[in-house]
Amino acid sequence: MKKIIFYALAAMAVLSGFAFGPKTLKRKLFSNKASSWISYEGKHPLHSWKAVCREVDCVVTYDEDEAKLETVAISAKVMAFDSRNTNRDSHALEALEALTYPKINFTSAQLSRNESNLIINGSLNFHGVTKPMSITTKTYTEGNTIRVEGAFPVKLSEFKVERPSLLFVKVEDEITIHFSFTFRTQ
């Protein structure tokens, strides 16, 4: 009977991660909403514009022992992008079918380092279409704050977005997504 109890306790210790050696401390960190944002830049032959979204959620898994990010998940509300032109924003919401596809989501599959860059491979879900995406970012650590910044192109046609037009000329197919997220490690 003592043997069975010993094996049961040993199995529970192994399964819980406390059995042998130190446990790696991993925590979820949520981005600071006051200083985090995502934006897109669009172009038309007559003008270009930028729309910013500050209602974006970003959570990362942070390995405290290694002081590194391991996973990333981002979600932004389509209706929260503001270009400071309500007419343009309402047309964008129509083109993006914001009521049908209210969010843009990104989830990482793998993070790796290349010199001073953090490369995030994952999936972008936009306008009901999910595509693999590789994003090269810069990370900055200042005390107990981590900032992750980057940019990447997105072709609207790849996500089945009907491009809006002005004077019968459509906006360019490629937009550029920019982002900046800050996290506190303590």
Instruction: Specify the 3-state DSSP secondary structure of 130.
Output: strand
Q: What is the pLDDT of residues 68-81, one digit of tens each?
A: 889 999 999 999 99
- Please state the pTM of the whole predicted model: 0.81
CA gap 85, 95 in Å, rounded: 15
**Contact assessment for residue 10 and residue 32, using Cβ atoms and an 8 Å cutoff:** no
Nearest to 42 by CA among 31, 34, 52, 51: 51
- The CATH architecture to which 24-184 belongs is Beta Barrel (2.40)
Q: Is 117 helix (H, G, I), strand (E, B) or coil?
A: strand
Residues of the chain below pLDDT 70? 1-24
Taking residue 140's Cβ as centre, other Cβ atoms within 10 Å add up to 12
Distance CA 111, CA 120 (A): 5
Q: What is the pLDDT of residues 90-122, one digit of tens each?
A: 989 999 999 999 999 999 999 998 878 999 999
